[in-house]
Structure 1
Amino acid sequence: MNLSVERVSLELAETFTISRGSTDRTDNVVVRISDGGHEGIGAAAPSTHYGETAATVEAAIERLRPTVEAVDDPFQVERVERELAHELGRNPAARCAVSIALHDLVGRHTDLPLWRYWGLDPDAAPDTSYTVGIGDPETMADRARRAADAGYGTLKVKVGTDDDRARVDAVAEAVPDATLRLDANEAWTPKDAVRNAEWLADYDVEFLEQPVPAADPEGLRYVYEHSPLPVAVDESCVTLPDVPAVADRADVAVLKLMKCGGLVEARRMVHAARAHGLDVMLGCMIETDAAISAGAQLAPLCDYVDLDGSLLLDDDSDPYEGPVRAGGHIDLDDQPGIGLR
Structure 2
Amino acid sequence: MSPDLDTEFERLSLPLADPFTIARGTTETAENVLVRISDGTHEGIGAAAPSSYYGETPETVEAVLPEYLEVVERVGDPHARQRIERELRQVVGRNPAARAAVDIALADLAAKRLDVPLYRQWGLDPAEAPTSSFSIGSADPEEMRAKAERAVADGFSVLKVKLGTGEDAERLAAVREGAPEARIRVDANGAWTPGEAVARSETLADHGVEFVEQPVPGDDVAGLRHVRERGAVPVAADESVETAADAARVADAVDVVVAKVQKCGSLRATREVAAVAHAHGCEAMLGCMVASNASIAASAHLAPLFDYVDLDGSLLLDSDPFDGVPMPGGDIDLGGVDRPGTTAVDRC
TM-score by length of 1: 0.97
**What is the deviation of 1:35?**
1.9
> Partner of 2:68 in structure 1?
64
Partners of 1:152 and 1:327 within 8 A in 2: yes
SS state at 1:181 partner: strand
Q: Is the counterpart of residue 162 in structure 1 residue 166 in structure 2? A: yes
SS state at 1:264 partner: helix
Change (3 A) 1:324 1:194: farther
The letter for the 2-side match of 1:320 is F
The separation in 1 between residues aligned to 2:273 and 2:9, in whole angstroms, is: 28
**What is the deviation of 1:192?**
0.7
Structure 1 segments (4+ residues) deviating >3 Å: none
**What is the deviation of 1:86?**
2.0
SS state at 1:70 partner: helix
Summarize deviations over 1:282-305 as a string: whole Å, max 9, x none: 000001101110100100111110
Q: Is the counterpart of residue 319 in structure 1 residue 321 in structure 2? A: yes
SS state at 1:206 partner: strand
Gaps of 5+ in 1: none
The letter for the 2-side match of 1:280 is A
**What is the deviation of 1:326?**
4.1
Picking from 48, 63, 78, the partner of 1:44 is 48
The separation in 1 between residues aligned to 2:123 and 2:282, in whole angstroms, is: 22
The letter for the 2-side match of 1:87 is V
Picking from 174, 187, 190, the partner of 2:191 is 187
> Partner of 2:291 in structure 1?
287
The letter for the 2-side match of 1:44 is A
Q: Is the counterpart of residue 3 in structure 1 residue 7 in structure 2? A: yes
Partners of 1:148 and 1:175 within 8 A in 2: yes
Q: Is the counterpart of residue 134 in structure 1 residue 148 in structure 2? A: no
Picking from 277, 280, 285, the partner of 2:281 is 277
Picking from 76, 92, 95, the partner of 1:91 is 95
Change (3 A) 1:51 1:324: farther
Q: Is the counterpart of residue 301 in structure 1 residue 319 in structure 2? A: no
Partners of 2:293 and 2:344 within 8 A in 1: yes
SS state at 1:102 partner: helix
Picking from 91, 100, 104, the partner of 1:100 is 104
Partners of 2:218 and 2:240 within 8 A in 1: yes
The letter for the 1-side match of 2:325 is P
**What is the deviation of 1:241?**
1.0
The separation in 1 between residues aligned to 2:35 and 2:161, in whole angstroms, is: 32
**What is the deviation of 1:126?**
1.2
Partners of 1:112 and 1:334 within 8 A in 2: no
> Partner of 2:270 in structure 1?
266
More displaced, 305-314 or 121-130?
A: 121-130
**What is the deviation of 1:4?**
0.7
SS state at 1:148 partner: helix
The separation in 1 between residues aligned to 2:287 and 2:247, in whole angstroms, is: 15
**What is the deviation of 1:340?**
2.3
The separation in 1 between residues aligned to 2:116 and 2:155, in whole angstroms, is: 29
The separation in 1 between residues aligned to 2:85 and 2:196, in whole angstroms, is: 41
Summarize deviations over 1:109-153 as a string: whole Å, max 9, x none: 100000001100011111210000000110110111110110000
Partners of 1:293 and 1:324 within 8 A in 2: no
Partners of 1:19 and 1:159 within 8 A in 2: yes
Q: Is the counterpart of residue 245 in structure 1 residue 252 in structure 2? A: no
The count of aligned residue pairs is 339
Partners of 2:22 and 2:165 within 8 A in 1: no
> Partner of 2:127 in structure 1?
123
The letter for the 1-side match of 2:322 is Y
Q: Is the counterpart of residue 54 in structure 1 residue 30 in structure 2? A: no
**What is the deviation of 1:87?**
1.5
Q: Is the counterpart of residue 177 in structure 1 residue 163 in structure 2? A: no
The letter for the 1-side match of 2:48 is A
Partners of 1:238 and 1:255 within 8 A in 2: yes
Coordinate RMSD, CA, aligned:
1.0
The letter for the 1-side match of 2:330 is G
**What is the deviation of 1:162?**
2.4
